[in-house]
Amino acid sequence: MAALLHSYVAGQWSTPQDDGVPLADAATGEEVARYSTRALDFAAVVDYARRVGGPALRELTFHERAAALKALGKRLMGAKDQFYPLSFATGATARDSALDVDGGIGVLLSYASKAVRELPNDTVYLDGGTESIGRAGTFVAQHIYTTRPGVAVQINAFNFPVWGMLEKLAPAFLAGLPTIVKPAHQTAYLTELVVRHIVESGLLPEGSLQLVCASPDGLLEQLGEQDVIAFTGSAATAARLRSHPRVVGAGVGFNAEADSLNCAILGPDAGPGTPEFDLYVKQLVAEMTSKAGQKCTAIRRALVPRPLLDTVADATAAQLAAVVVGKPDLDGVRMGPLASTAQRDEVLRALKSLTDAARLISGDPQHVAVEGADPDRGAFLPPLLLRADDNTADAVHEVEAFGPVSTLMPYGDIDEAVALAIRGRGSLVGSVITHDPEVARRVVLGVAAYHGRLLVLDRDDAKESTGHGSPLPTLVHGGPGRAGGGEELGGIRGVLHYMQRSAVQGSPDMLTAVAGRWITGAARHSGGVHPFRKYLEELRIGDTIVGGPRAVTAEDIAQFAALTGDTFYAHTDPVAAAQNPLFGGIVAHGYLVVSLAAGLFVEPSPGPVLANFGVDNLRFLTPVKPGDSLTVTLTAKQLTPRASADYGEVRWDTVVTNQDGAAVATYDVLTLVAKRPAGQPREV
């Protein structure tokens, strides 16, 4: 008897008390592991996450959490060769395994680096700018995201045992939520192995990750209003869990990634002989065979212009005939078995419904040539291509055969292609393969409301394209309607899904204290040491330097025009400038104003300020005319120490005013400021 999978709960590996059910190698039928059918003490599991994992995570800033994810990603990447043998057992080829294993680790690394670049080194995330409410500026509002004191329960599908876990773990972890992972039983042995490596690494705070290799009965009953369920699986299970009393009645968050009848539309311009025609056929074959079609993003409906149907069918069938099906670890095998014989039977059932509405034109489910394995013991199927000349039948738009199965169907014009696409009632992804910008625009705008992601593929982007079926950490994954109505990933958006957004109203001083970022109207601290003489640790939010006044002369403007070559008439031609409805005469260049302002606030000698790396939100508000006088007010707005460097980022609120006190320009100056070197005396 193979080993029973263990759960990792409450800080230890827990041995199941039953014999469990066998999990078979998808290709050989041999037992790989056993999965317990008994439930756990989920009250204790959830309590541990709340009591131990949550507080440990909330101690860390976004950047500290990111550093842990980065270290974990590197550690797992170093161990990935140990994951591949079990990945083969799931039916995945080496290429499929790279999507799951390397792809999952890639999500950790991508999130780690995005978090450092886009999140503050803090525990609060500010959403957008300040809203001014009171006229005098004493009552303002700021939207903030904070961490929920809850748990993230992830319930995953069998097809991506590694990526499925890591793509949910990364954003939840950054958001400060401890995770409880419930993998699908069929392939849980690979998830368990990866969790063993994670636990052994000691890189994540204790309690921030628990693994349930057991029946989930009773788990949802423990959840409450601060908790989130992130589900991936079939629409039927999603519907059942969505109506769970804790979800309906106790406000448990619920995000579903379910199945979808994704389409790929061949543009009318993309006939045989065009690069787009070849790309279409290649992509269709790739999506049918990658992971043996067990991808929620695979192309299920291939829509082609009616006159091209025969040609596309022939070209696709010819390529599918060359696909070698077999034992997934063998070189030369392009498609492995499905994850289990139960899954294969499920696909055959779905195929039966589809063949009532479409005819099979490539592949015979009863006869499959298998390289290196016994077809009677493994869960093998050949790629199965159907053709539905009648594109109106419900089944082809509704039945998901979660395997190497796609249906070709014709369309007449773009309006019909759009109408067919949206008969999927909401999909994760759709693609249009065209070199005609008008076709791209009509299709994308016609179907976007029904899709989470859209790929426009043509000769120009094909080489770099990541393909129809690959969700990326930086892009939204999820889809409306039938696809579950959920949303994951999408860069920092994915982190915010796990956090709570609140609008906080109050005075600028109070909101500055709450948000950790200086807000217009809050107290400024000026006098004493120039802020550019302060190391990062010495700077305080609100530290201010006021520079000026400085008169702007006609000669300054003429010299700036001559120096830069910016001789736009408003700066150089008094007659033409007088006709300008906004200026009515010569005005200073906006960039001259910004440059003069820098000369007013700078502290020139070598010191803690290392570099200016840009400005944000630059706006020119009032024209500056010869004779005007400028004053600049520079205020430390946000301090972001970098954990891995001996400097950090400082954002300075900058306001340039004229002699009447009117704002001429506003922007944020971005600088890198050194941390104080050990032993360096402080300037007073």
From 108-116, 124-132, 256-264, 368-376, span contacting ligand NAP (CB under 6 A): 256-264
Q: Does 153 bind ligand NAP (CB under 6 A)?
A: no
Q: How far is CA 249 from CA 46, 150, 221, 223, 253, in A?
A: 19, 17, 11, 11, 11
Q: Which of 155, 422, 429, 536 binds ligand NAP (CB under 6 A)?
A: 155
- Which of 225, 140, 195 is CA-nearest to residue 510? 140
The sheet carrying 7-9 orders its strands as 12-14, 7-9, 209-211, 179-182, 152-155, 228-232, 253-257
Least spacing, CB of residue 227 vs ligand NAP, in Å: 14
From 232-240, 367-375, 574-582, 592-600, span contacting ligand NAP (CB under 6 A): 232-240
Least spacing, CB of residue 379 vs ligand NAP, in Å: 13
- Which of 341, 30, 35 is CA-nearest to residue 161? 35
CB-based contact 513:140 (threshold 8 Å): no
Q: Does 258 bind ligand NAP (CB under 6 A)?
A: yes
Four-point Cα dihedral 327, 329, 330, 332, nearest 10: 100
Q: Does 406 bind ligand NAP (CB under 6 A)?
A: no
From 251-259, 267-275, 494-502, 553-561, span contacting ligand NAP (CB under 6 A): 251-259
Q: Which of 90, 147, 156, 316 binds ligand NAP (CB under 6 A)?
A: 156
Q: Does 182 bind ligand NAP (CB under 6 A)?
A: yes
Q: Does 222 bind ligand NAP (CB under 6 A)?
A: no
CB-based contact 149:56 (threshold 8 Å): no
Number of residues that bind ligand NAP (CB under 6 A): 22
Q: Does 232 bind ligand NAP (CB under 6 A)?
A: yes
How far is residue 291's CA from residue 317's CA, in Å, rounded to a whole number? 19
| Token couple for 349 | 């059932």
| Token couple for 427 | 């999909």
Least spacing, CB of residue 381 vs ligand NAP, in Å: 15
Element (H, E) at 7: strand 7-9
First CA to last CA across the chain, in angstroms?
74
Q: Does 216 bind ligand NAP (CB under 6 A)?
A: yes
- Which of 387, 390, 384, 434 is CA-nearest to residue 414? 434
The string of DSSP letters for 537-590 reads TT--TTBEEEEEEEE--HHHHHHHHHHH----HHHH-HHHHHH-TTTSS----H
From 122-130, 255-263, 375-383, 515-523, span contacting ligand NAP (CB under 6 A): 255-263
Q: Does 233 bind ligand NAP (CB under 6 A)?
A: yes
Using DSSP's 3-state secondary structure scheme, residue 455 falls into strand
> From residue 481 to residue 520, what is the string marking binding to ligand NAP with x (rule CB under 6 A)?
---x------------------------------------
Residue 90 or 159 with smaller CB distance to ligand NAP:
159
Least spacing, CB of residue 206 vs ligand NAP, in Å: 24
Q: Which of 52, 211, 405, 428 binds ligand NAP (CB under 6 A)?
A: 428
Query: Is 296 one of the catalytic residues?
Result: yes
CA atoms lying within 13 Å on the CB side of residue 58: 15
Neighbouring residues of 335: CB distance < 8 A, sequence distance ≥ 6: 93, 289, 292, 323, 324, 325, 326, 383, 404
Residue 217 or 225 with smaller CB distance to ligand NAP:
217
Least spacing, CB of residue 187 vs ligand NAP, in Å: 9
Neighbours of 129 (CB within 10 A): 12
Q: Does 580 bind ligand NAP (CB under 6 A)?
A: no
Q: Which of 227, 259, 556, 649 binds ligand NAP (CB under 6 A)?
A: 259
From 9-17, 178-186, 302-310, 387-395, span contacting ligand NAP (CB under 6 A): 178-186
How far is residue 343's CA from residue 647's CA, in Å, rounded to a whole number? 54
Least spacing, CB of residue 404 vs ligand NAP, in Å: 14
Q: Does 283 bind ligand NAP (CB under 6 A)?
A: no
Q: Which of 192, 257, 276, 400 is catalytic?
A: 257
Least spacing, CB of residue 241 vs ligand NAP, in Å: 6
Q: Which of 167, 296, 487, 649 is catalytic?
A: 296
CB-based contact 25:32 (threshold 8 Å): yes
Residue 68 or 258 with smaller CB distance to ligand NAP:
258
Kind of pairing, strands 152-155 and 228-232? parallel
Q: Does 288 bind ligand NAP (CB under 6 A)?
A: no
Using DSSP's 3-state secondary structure scheme, residue 167 falls into helix
Q: Pinpoint the alpha helices (H) of 223-340.
A: 235-242, 245-249, 275-289, 309-321
| Token couple for 204 | 């994540």
How far is residue 32's CA from residue 11's CA, in Å, rounded to a whole number? 26
Least spacing, CB of residue 83 vs ligand NAP, in Å: 19
Residue 208 or 232 with smaller CB distance to ligand NAP:
232
Query: Burial letters for 148-183: b for 16+ Cβ neighbours within 10 Å, e otherwise?
Result: bebbbbbbbbbbbbbbbbbbbbbbbbbbbbbbbbbb
Query: Is 257 one of the catalytic residues?
Result: yes
> From residue 296 to residue 315, what is the string marking binding to ligand NAP with x (rule CB under 6 A)?
x-------------------
Least spacing, CB of residue 293 vs ligand NAP, in Å: 10
Q: Which residues bind ligand NAP (CB under 6 A)?
A: 155-159, 182, 184-185, 216, 232-234, 237, 241, 257-259, 296, 400, 402, 428, 484
Residues with active-site annotation: 257, 296
